[in-house]
Amino acid sequence: MENLIEKIKKLKQEKNAIILAHYYTRPEIQDVADYLGDSLGLAKKAKETDADIIVFCGVHFMAETASVISPDKKVLIPAKAAGCSLANGIRPRDLIAWKKENPGAVVVTYVNTTADIKAESDYCCTSSNALDIVNSIPEDQLVLFIPDKNLGGYIKKVTGREKMEVWDGMCIVHELIDTDTILKRMTEYPEADVLIHPESNCSQDPKILDLPNTYMYSTAGIINHAKTSPKNTFIIATEQETIHKLQKDNPTKTFVPIADNTICVNMKKVTLENLLDCLEKEQYEVKVPEQMAKRALIPIERMLEIK
Ligand code: SF4
């Protein structure tokens, strides 16, 4: 493993490449990355980097977003087949038809979508800024929120917004995090704070939201809470590799995954071996066609401006 890491670091320097990695990737990928972040942080980093090559250790839609933001850079993804159930949950023709049924509506699109969907959208958002973005839209305008039913439902509930429709898509990993799963873990660790990602199935259930020790956060919010809280034990209700970063930042605290199965197999497709291949062969390039990229950039830039 050491040998692979050395080779990756050397090649990265020679080629003026930057490695961006998502919190859900394998621990060894997180450790070799130049920057580790959630979708919003990674998008910002892709915008500001002066590297010639961006190697995106994550899933395909994330690399597409980086390519839209930095069209002059070569964007590479080590695992070509790393897709996302959420991004695959809506097709451009579905969105176009939905817009036709609702003329004048504002389309707010979670960043976990393909570039052709973003090109049909008014705003992009992440779980960090979805609330601010929806709140920035006048109350009398209908919002069409895509594609995540759990995040969208949570935003609708928190804002109390009546004029908001939510698409029926979901993340297969966060869909496993339901009310019973949370309550079961809480009985095992009654002293813990429970940090829940709003893509989770339980995100709108008052049985969970009204409990004193439960908090709904983006990944960045979960990391911040764990760092600043005086508590010692935390139940982590999101993709479980996030615990690698949490444990590194807080070596004396205890982090418990919400369940054994909260694992995104697509994020795990990036390995040290295919990362090295990616740098050596400059594969697999992700490039969004120019016209589509121009249209997709508008909602992405609005997202980056809001927070
Ligand atoms: S965790 Fe869910 S939303 Fe994130 S990449 Fe995996 S399938 Fe997609």
Say if residue 103 is in the same domain as residue 146.
yes
Question: What's the pLDDT at 266?
Answer: 98
Say if residue 161 is in the same domain as residue 300.
yes
Ligand 1 in reach of 131 Cβ (< 6 A): no
Residue in the structure block whose two tokens are 């959420």: 86
Question: What parts of the chain have a pLDDT lower than 70?
Answer: 307
**Cα 14 to ligand 1 centre (Å):** 32
Question: What's the pLDDT at 6?
Answer: 97
Say if residue 179 is in the same domain as residue 167.
no
57 in a structural domain: yes
**Structural domain containing residue 280:** 2-84+267-288
Residue in the structure block whose two tokens are 């008014």: 122
Residue 199 · residue 174 · CB < 8 Å: yes
Question: What's the pLDDT at 39?
Answer: 83
Q: How far is CA 191 from the centre of its chain?
A: 28
Question: What's the pLDDT at 116?
Answer: 97
Looking at ligand 1, which residue's alpha carbon is closest to its atom 8? 84
Token digits of residue 278: 């990616």
Cα–Cα–Cα angle for 279, 116, 43, nearest 5°?
A: 50
Say if residue 74 is in the same domain as residue 91.
no
262 in a structural domain: no
Positive or negative, the CA dihedral 74, 77, 80, 86 is negative
Distances in whole angstroms, Cα of residue 131 to Cα of each of 16, 70, 156, 180, 290: 37, 26, 9, 26, 30
Say if residue 179 is in the same domain as residue 197.
yes
Question: What's the pLDDT at 307?
Answer: 57
Name, in order, each residue with C-beta under 8 angstroms of 276's C-beta and a sequence gap of 6 or more: 4, 7, 8, 11
- Name the domain count of the chain: 3
Say if residue 26 is in the same domain as residue 92.
no
Ligand 1 in reach of 266 Cβ (< 6 A): yes
Say if residue 178 is in the same domain as residue 247.
yes
Ligand 1 in reach of 29 Cβ (< 6 A): no
Question: What's the pLDDT at 23?
Answer: 97
**Cα 86 to ligand 1 centre (Å):** 6
Say if residue 214 is in the same domain as residue 161.
no
115 in a structural domain: yes
- What is the pTM for the complete model shown? 0.95
Positive or negative, the CA dihedral 161, 109, 267, 50 is negative
39 in a structural domain: yes
Residue in the structure block whose two tokens are 């090649």: 11
Residue type for position 253:
K
CATH number of the domain at 105, please: 3.40.50.10800
Say if residue 275 is in the same domain as residue 128.
no
198 in a structural domain: yes
Residue 142 · residue 127 · CB < 8 Å: no
124 in a structural domain: yes
Most ligand 1 atoms within 8 A of CB, residue of 85, 125, 146, 265 to mutate: 85
Ligand 1 in reach of 84 Cβ (< 6 A): yes
179 in a structural domain: yes
55 in a structural domain: yes
Most ligand 1 atoms within 8 A of CB, residue of 22, 24, 125, 219 to mutate: 24
Say if residue 165 is in the same domain as residue 178.
no
Most ligand 1 atoms within 8 A of CB, residue of 65, 111, 148, 264 to mutate: 264
Say if residue 6 is in the same domain as residue 74.
yes
Say if residue 190 is in the same domain as residue 245.
yes
